[in-house]
Amino acid sequence: MPPIAPAAAPVMVVDHPLVQHKVTLVRSEDTTTDNFRRLVREIAQLLTYEATRDLAMETVAIKTPIAPMQSPMLSGKKLCLVSILRAGNGFLDGMLDLLPAARVGHIGLYRDPETLEPIEYYFKMPDDIQERLVIVVDPMLATGNSAIAALNRLKEAGVTALKYVCLIASRPGLRALQAAHPDVAIVTAAIDEQLNEHGYIVPGLGDAGDRLYGTR
């Protein structure tokens, strides 16, 4: 009997009205660069709440101005946020607003325009990356190739606790990522069904990096 494939980790689509309202605004071609950047940062903050919902807690003794008490605080593995350059940095900023103590790693990947395969040009992580819960961030999960390459690289570096957070995911990209890394939970604000011949998500929002930084 062939081995049974492990069940894929869950995909969480954050359907909160505030998130969906802001996603509509970032999709619009009429949204200016400064507003696009601000909205991506705000959406990243909101998705961070869901991505960190299951963090371990412990109870500690503190004293308020009125009385002593037992109160919950975060415990367990420390966090590292890993940005897939360059668009990931626009998402990273919003997450760091809520997680200022998190360490930060960067993976530089560009997509070959002919094959759509990722090519790595940069990899910089904290020395203790294998001891941390790592959340990989990138606004767009299109073909899934860059996300798969990034997660492969992190696992090679010894990381065992991983999540992936994006703004918009394509259905084909989700399938590819879950097939390659069924142990990695995914958090997104929207799922679009199609990719075009250039590997862009349809309807998507265009090139997130160009829209974040005003380039073409």
Mark whether 210 is an active-site residue.
Answer: yes
What DSSP element (H or E) covers 185?
Answer: strand 185-188
Binding-site entries: 86, 111, 138-146, 201, 206-208
Q: Are 202 and 192 within 8 A, CB to CB?
A: yes
Q: Are 121 and 146 within 8 A, CB to CB?
A: no
What DSSP element (H or E) covers 57?
Answer: strand 57-63
State how far the alpha carbon of 95 is from the alpha carbons of 43, 52, 61, 127, in Å.
9, 11, 28, 21
Catalytic residue among 31, 38, 103, 207: 207
Q: Are 166 and 192 within 8 A, CB to CB?
A: no
Binding-site entries for 5-phospho-alpha-D-ribose 1-diphosphate: 86, 111, 138-146, 207
Mark whether 115 is an active-site residue.
Answer: yes
State how far the alpha carbon of 9 is from the alpha carbons of 32, 33, 89, 168, in Å.
36, 34, 25, 18
Catalytic residue among 24, 115, 160, 215: 115
State how far the alpha carbon of 209 is from the alpha carbons of 3, 91, 141, 206, in Å.
41, 10, 13, 9
Rg of the chain in Å (alpha carbons)? 18
Binding-site entries for uracil: 201, 206-208
Catalytic residue among 38, 93, 103, 111: 111
Give the active site residues: 111, 115, 207, 210
